[in-house]
Amino acid sequence: MIVAGAAIQGTAHLARAQCCQDAFKAVDLGTAAVLAVADGAGGRERSALGAHIAVDAACRVLAENVPEVEDSPEAWSEWIAAAGARVVEDYRRTVEGVLSAVADASEPVDTGALAATLAAAVVRPPWVAFLSIGDCFGTVLTREPDEPDPQDGSSRPGDREGSGRPDERAGFRRPDERAGPDALDGPPASGDPGEPVASPGSSASGDPLAIGDPGTSGEPPAAGESSASGNSSARGEPITIGDPGTSGDPGTSGDPGTSGEPPAAGESSASGAARTFGERCHLVLPPPPPGVPETVFLSSPGATLRLRSFALWDPRLSGVVLATDGCAPLTLDRPSLRELPPEAGPLPAERFFCGLAATLRANGGDAEPLRALLSGPEAARTGDDLTVVCALTEGS
């Protein structure tokens, strides 16, 4: 498994002589990987330390007793929920110990001084388990199975085997959607990739809404709504990282280093987006919608009760990417850019995620192109710190 990450100081923090308040950590367990990103609260003097404590706690706890691939959805769901509670407890205990060592004994310890948000994932293909508190977000990458092209009989990724037509599945389920009766019986039968399954213990986190545009509003999609809601990207061929391009431009597959044929004219997926074949990206752990009154931190009262946790199963899983909220303008597209209604919510920018995956696989996990991308002009306009960490399956 290829694991890489980078944290870049935001331009606004640099102008104010503030250090980077983000942190990331990854642990490669061989057949699995643990990822974590944290964002220290901007107004707290020691929040950068809080972010590092958060990712340390997450990786330490989540590296223990990871369920097996053969374990049931219930086992994965129960494990990540219990592990999430332990992460919060571990973080608070460490923060209290640090503050007690330097604070006046006559004053109560304020854990909010090291406030931080957190997103973490355990990647053990075909499983990935997430936990999150605050505004960090997560995306998964999937690859489509091969199927003979109905026009020329050649093998073509993206379609069901033997169907003789493009796969018209609705797309990746949001964590708060039930996967139907089959989800209770574990993964679909062999030979049928089926829908990515959200384990029945998934938390009912809020549906994503549009981001980045104060004038954009809308109601979340109805429960059970398919990926026409816009929470998955239907792009295929990875594009090489370079110029991120104009925001909202889905990129092209015309680079000399990009293999694969473009989709047939007019071809589309059930999500309504232009369909190509290869890797797809799905925003499964969205940031909170605009207008949320307050950001929840690991140090917030009742943090354990406000923790999001869920597990996903997909035999096509090819990667997981976690990011702090400063990366949203670079990595997420507003639905209006794809002529979708506001309630479709933010969509993962395939030019970023698929390009990142292709580049890291090509260079063996060298994070320098990622650091360059997070330091580029497109990223600089956010002003905030930018942090990304990912785990990718190997192979082209």
For the stretch 178-236, pLDDT in tens is: 333 232 233 443 334 344 445 433 333 333 322 233 333 333 333 333 333 334 443 33
Does the pLDDT value for residue 279 go beyond 70?
yes
Rounded to an integer, what distance in angstroms lies between the CA atom of residue 166 and that of residue 309?
Answer: 33
pLDDT tens profile 110-153 = 777 899 999 999 999 999 999 999 999 999 999 976 544 444 44
Q: Which amino acid is at 349?
A: A
pTM (2 decimals)?
Answer: 0.70
Q: What is the mean pLDDT of residues 6-30?
A: 85
Higher pLDDT, 87 or 225: 87
- Across the chain, mean pLDDT equals 73
Structure confidence at residue 221 (pLDDT)? 34
Structure confidence at residue 107 (pLDDT)? 66
Rounded to an integer, what distance in angstroms lies between the CA atom of residue 231 and that of residue 52?
Answer: 30
Across the beta sheet with 22-28, what order do the strands follow? 22-28, 33-40, 116-124, 127-133, 308-313, 197-198
Three-class HEC string of 284-318: EECCCCCCCCCCCCCCCCCHHHHCEEEEEECCCEE
| DSSP line for 71-113 | S-HHHHHHHHHHHHHHHHHHHHHHHHHHHHHHS-TTS---GGG
Q: What is the mean pLDDT of residues 50-61?
A: 97
pLDDT band at 106 (very low <50, low <70, confident <90, very high): low
Rounded to an integer, what distance in angstroms lies between the CA atom of residue 316 and that of residue 98?
Answer: 43
Query: Picking from 1-5, 7-11, 105-109, 314-318, which range would have the lowest pLDDT averaged per residue?
Result: 105-109
208 and 326 Cβ atoms separated by less than 8 Å: no
Rounded to an integer, what distance in angstroms lies between the CA atom of residue 396 and that of residue 387?
Answer: 25
10 and 392 Cβ atoms separated by less than 8 Å: no
What ranges make up the beta strands (E) of the chain? 2-8, 22-28, 33-40, 116-124, 127-133, 137-143, 146-148, 155-157, 197-198, 232-233, 279-285, 308-313, 317-323, 332-333, 347-348, 386-392
Q: Look at phi and psi of residue 212 and say left if phi exceeds 0, alpha if psi is from -120 to 50, else beta.
A: left
Rounded to an integer, what distance in angstroms lies between the CA atom of residue 69 and that of residue 75?
Answer: 11
Q: Structure tokens of 345?
A: 């919510």
Query: Picking from 22-26, 74-78, 130-134, 234-238, which range would have the lowest pLDDT averaged per residue?
Result: 234-238
Rounded to an integer, what distance in angstroms lies between the CA atom of residue 367 and that of residue 359?
Answer: 9
> DSSP character for 227?
G
Does the pLDDT value for residue 92 go beyond 90?
yes
> DSSP character for 263?
P
Task: Give how far the C-alpha of residue 178 lies from the chain's centroid of Cα atoms, to the nearest Å.
Answer: 19
pLDDT tens profile 331-379 = 999 999 889 998 888 999 999 999 999 999 999 999 999 999 999 888 7
pLDDT band at 380 (very low <50, low <70, confident <90, very high): confident
Q: What is the mean pLDDT of residues 20-47?
A: 91
